[in-house]
């Protein structure tokens, strides 16, 4: 057995292993009893057809596809099941239409349809509600860019009704953004409890298959990968080793920990989200909301009384700790939390290069508490908005930002493993696959990416086709490494599709 030769890389943006003591996500307050501390077998199996590293939405949908085709899958998770980005996001599933290239918009709309239909067919208890999304615009530059993008979409009959520009003042006020210069409404947008969707899928896999077909091992971090022969692999963990012909890295922002050659290509970025208490007289917001004031989106959903409650009498009362984690106490408080994320540029570096989610940033926290004051109208028209709202939960999570803004879906190029092999630039690392780099926009992308890479592993010729720009290659890696992540509104506007 030989350990993969890995090139030296700058350590500034290389990910660490997931933090063992993470902040407590709002979505983890009702964890699956079957999945918590789950190990399908007391010991690691010695072999599998496929090792899936990561139990988020991408890895889970890949595992569903692989097991349905008869492959044996061992899923290794560093912490609890779905304890990474999927279990820590803002609860949105909204395809990017107005600000994406046509093939990307169609891919994301396909993912939206996939989840919607899955939830409806199986009555998945994950609070899926199609609410439509409002993209509020507070900058003349963004409004001008949005007008051009809407004009571009008119050339495509299947997309032209998927995004509508609103500029009428009364209509903006009716949509709770009276101070906006304009807003784009996208009807295909949902809010949901993302952890419960993935938990349902993992529970179903465990109940439908024996340990020989699907084996979930939580609290089992992979510390390194090694080749075993020309086309098989060994995953090393603190609990032992496991071998497989195929390995899928569905680890998003943590990709560069196991593949240091992706350092500065997929950058860990810490996102922060809070559950804010609405004012007592707050109106139930009809849509989900997004707005941009720098190079990052602020994103909001309003939980409603028809969403899942914990226990028969409502949710437990949440008590915050000073370190940003939280615990539950007795109580009968109904939950109408405002789930708000973003504001990472409240600090100079935008939380880039951070792969620890065991703390919250107090400066980002302050910005989030005050983030709705001028953005969304919560109270009746005659009532002034509160300058700051109290948070009952605050947590962080690690996103994987791709320097070229595209996910990385497919075989891992061999040069990621050994960049000295110039004669192997067009050669892939046989049996090593990746689904990562979703740049804070995984829900309408990652599930079908997981399916697509599973189909690649299976050698399926017809199936989910990912945009060509998402396929890994040596040339793409070299080009991406020289790019910088967006930092300003101007950067984002320049990245919009051309007409």
- In angstroms, rounded to a whole number, what is the distance separating the alpha carbons of residues 14 and 481? 13
pLDDT at 120 over 60: yes
Q: Which CATH architecture has domain 2-87+195-267+403-494?
A: 3-Layer(bba) Sandwich (3.50)
Tokens of 476: 């793409």
Please choose, from the candidates 17, 103, 31, 87, the residue with its C-alpha nearest in 3D space to the C-alpha of residue 445: 103
Residues facing 225 on adjacent strands: 235
In percent, the amount of the chain with pLDDT more than 90 equals: 82
Report the 10 Å Cβ neighbour count for 10: 10
pLDDT at 498 over 90: no
Regarding predicted confidence, which is higher, 328 or 439?
A: 439
pLDDT at 321 over 80: no
Average pLDDT over residues 131-135: 98
Dihedral of the alpha carbons of 44, 48, 51, 55, in degrees to the nearest 10: -60
Instruction: Report helix, strand or coil for 453.
Output: helix
Regarding predicted confidence, which is higher, 417 or 301?
A: 301
Q: Where are the domains of the chain?
A: 2-87+195-267+403-494, 130-190+269-401
Q: Which CATH architecture has domain 130-190+269-401?
A: 2-Layer Sandwich (3.30)
pLDDT at 133: 98
Report the 10 Å Cβ neighbour count for 446: 27
- In angstroms, rounded to a whole number, what is the distance separating the alpha carbons of residues 481 and 420? 16
pLDDT at 3 over 80: no
Q: Which of 153-167, 415-429, 475-489 has the lowest mean pLDDT?
A: 415-429
Going along 253-304, which residue ranges are E strands?
266-276, 288-292, 297-302
- The answer to whether 337 and 27 are in contact (CB under 8 A) is no
Give the C-alpha distances (Å, rounded to integers) separating 90 from 19, 63, 298: 20, 24, 10
- In angstroms, rounded to a whole number, what is the distance separating the alpha carbons of residues 154 and 44? 54
- The answer to whether 19 and 84 are in contact (CB under 8 A) is no
**pLDDT tens readout for residues 49-107:** 999 999 999 999 999 999 999 999 999 999 999 999 999 999 999 999 999 999 999 99
Summary mean pLDDT of the chain: 90
Distance of CA 307 to the CA centre of its chain: 21
């Amino acid at each position: 057995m030989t350990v993969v030769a890995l090139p030296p890389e700058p350590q500034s943006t290389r990910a660490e292993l997931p933090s063992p003591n993470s902040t407590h996500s709002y979505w983890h307050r009702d964890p699956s009893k079957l999945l918590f501390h789950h190990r399908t077998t007391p010991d690691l199996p010695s072999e599998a057809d496929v090792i899936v590293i990561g139990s988020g939405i991408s890895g889970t949908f890949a595992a569903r596809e692989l097991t349905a085709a008869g492959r044996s899958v061992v899923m290794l998770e560093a912490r609890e099941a779905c304890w990474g980005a999927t279990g820590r996001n803002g609860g949105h599933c909204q395809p990017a239409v107005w600000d994406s290239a046509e093939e990307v918009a169609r891919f994301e709309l396909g993912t939206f349809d996939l989840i919607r239909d899955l939830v409806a067919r199986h009555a998945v208890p994950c609070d899926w509600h199609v609410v439509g999304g409002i993209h509020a615009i507070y900058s003349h530059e963004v409004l001008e860019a949005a007008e051009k993008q809407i004009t571009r979409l008119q050339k495509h009959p299947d997309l032209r009704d998927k995004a509508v520009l609103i500029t009428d003042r009364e209509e903006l006020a009716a949509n709770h953004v009276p101070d906006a210069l304009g807003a784009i409404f996208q009807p295909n947008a949902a809010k949901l409890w993302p952890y419960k969707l993935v938990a349902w899928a993992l529970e179903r896999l465990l109940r439908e298959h024996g340990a020989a077909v699907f084996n979930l091992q939580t609290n089992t971090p992979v510390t390194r990968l090694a080749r075993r022969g020309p086309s098989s692999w060994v995953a090393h963990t603190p609990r032992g080793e496991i071998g497989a012909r195929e390995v899928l890295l569905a680890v998003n922002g943590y990709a560069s920990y196991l593949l240091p050659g992706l350092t500065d290509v997929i950058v860990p970025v810490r996102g922060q989200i809070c559950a804010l208490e609405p004012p007592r007289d707050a109106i139930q917001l009809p849509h989900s909301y997004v707005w941009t004031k720098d190079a990052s989106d602020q994103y909001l959903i309003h939980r409603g009384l028809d969403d899942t409650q914990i226990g028969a009498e409502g949710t437990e009362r949440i008590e915050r700790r000073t370190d940003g984690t939280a615990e539950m106490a007795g109580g009968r408080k109904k939950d109408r939390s405002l789930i708000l994320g973003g504001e990472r540029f409240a600090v100079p570096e935008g939380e880039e290069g951070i792969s620890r989610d065991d703390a919250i940033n107090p400066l980002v926290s302050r910005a989030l508490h005050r983030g709705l004051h001028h953005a969304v109208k919560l109270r009746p028209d005659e009532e002034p908005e509160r300058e700051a709202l109290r948070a009952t939960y605050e947590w962080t999570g690690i996103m994987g930002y791709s320097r070229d803004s595209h996910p990385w879906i497919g075989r891992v190029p061999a040069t990621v493993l050994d960049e000295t092999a110039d004669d192997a630039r067009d050669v892939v690392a046989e049996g090593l696959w990746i689904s990562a780099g979703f740049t804070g926009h995984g829900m309408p992308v990652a599930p079908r990416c997981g399916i697509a890479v599973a189909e690649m592993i299976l050698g399926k010729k017809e199936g989910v086709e990912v945009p060509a720009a998402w396929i890994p290659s040596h040339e793409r890696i070299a080009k991406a490494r020289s790019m910088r992540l967006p930092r300003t509104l101007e950067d984002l506007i320049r990245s919009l599709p051309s007409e």
